[in-house]
Chains A and B, each alone.
Chain A
Amino acid sequence: MTEPASRPEQQHIGGLWCGDVLAGLADYLDGRMAPAARASVERHLDGCDWCTRFGGAYATTVRSLQRQLSEPEPVDDAVARRLDAALADALERD
C-alpha cells in the first residue's frame, strides 16, 4: 500500500489509503478491478466521505462526457463536399 507523503490527512480504511483509491478509480469505475480489490475499495468508500465525494465527481465527469459529447457533430456540408471532391480527384489519378 502507498504511504501518503504529501497528503497527511489521508485516511487508511479497508486496508487502503485514499491515495490507493485515487490510483484505482478508473479501474473501479470501468469495472476492470478484481473482486477482492473491488471489495477493498468499497470498504474504504463506506468509511471515507472524501473519496466518496471525489469518486462521485469523477464518475459524473466521465458519464457526462460519454452522454453529452459522444454524438459527433455532423461534418459541415462544405467540408463534406470538399472531401468527396478531393477523394474523387485523387482516385481518378490512381
Chain B
Amino acid sequence: MPDRREDLELIAASAQGDRAAFSVLVRRHRAAVWRLARALTASEQAAEDVLQETFLAVYRGASGFRGEGSARSWILGTARLKAARTWRRRAGEPAAPEPLDELGCAAGWGDPELAVAALEDRDRLHAALWRLAPADREVLVLRDLEQLSGPEVARATGLSEGAVKSRLHRARLRLLAQLRTAEPDLGGAHD
C-alpha cells in the first residue's frame, strides 16, 4: 500500500535518521531525478552517479530543508547541481543567443508548408529533445515535463525568472526546429 505521507513529513523524518521514510521519498522521486540526470549527462554511468549523489545529498541535507518551494523542486535542483559538475557548462550553453526571428524561421515561422502532424509524433519528439543542448533540455524537462512552475524552475536552476522565461521560449523554438528535421529515433544520447 503506498505511503501517503507528504514529502515534507518524509524529509523531516529523514532528517531524524528514519531510513524507511527516506526510502519512500527515494521511490517517489527517483524516476524524475533519473530522467533529469539522463537529460543532463553524457553517459548512463554519469547519470547513475548523479542519481546516487543526489539522494545522498538529499538525505544529508534533509535537516536544512526549510520548505521554501516544493520538495520536488529542491530534489531536482539538487540533481541539477550534481549533474552540472559532470558536464562543461559552457559547452552545453548555446553560443551568443541568435536573434529571435532567426530562431523562429528555423522553427517554421513564416513557412506556409509548416506541418503540425509531425509535431505530435512521440518518437520524433523524443529524438528532437535529445538533439538539443543540455541547457535547453534542462529547462524543457523541468518546466514542460516535470511541470515545475516558473519560480520553481528559477529556484532549481539558479536563474532569474526572466532568464527562465527567455530560455524556455528559445528552447521550445529550437525543439520545433529539430522536430522539422529530426527523424524518429527510439534511442537517446546515452544509447
Contact = CB atoms under 8 A, between A and B. Distances in A.
A77 B110 CA distance: 47
B144 interface: yes
B100 interface: yes
A7 B30 contact: no
Given A6-B99, A19-B100, A74-B31, A65 B55 contact: no
Nearest to B44: A79
Interface in B44-81: 48, 51-52, 55-56, 59-60
A70 B145 CA distance: 4
Contacts of A18: 109-110
A47 interface: no
Interface residues of B, number: 50
Interface of B: 19, 22-23, 26, 30-32, 34-35, 48, 51-52, 55-56, 59-60, 99-102, 104-105, 107-112, 114, 116, 119-120, 122, 125-126, 129, 140, 144-147, 150, 165, 168-169, 172-173, 175-176, 179
Interface of A: 4-7, 9, 18-19, 22-23, 25-27, 32, 50, 53-54, 56-58, 60-62, 64-66, 68-70, 72-75, 79-80, 82-84, 86-87, 90-91, 94
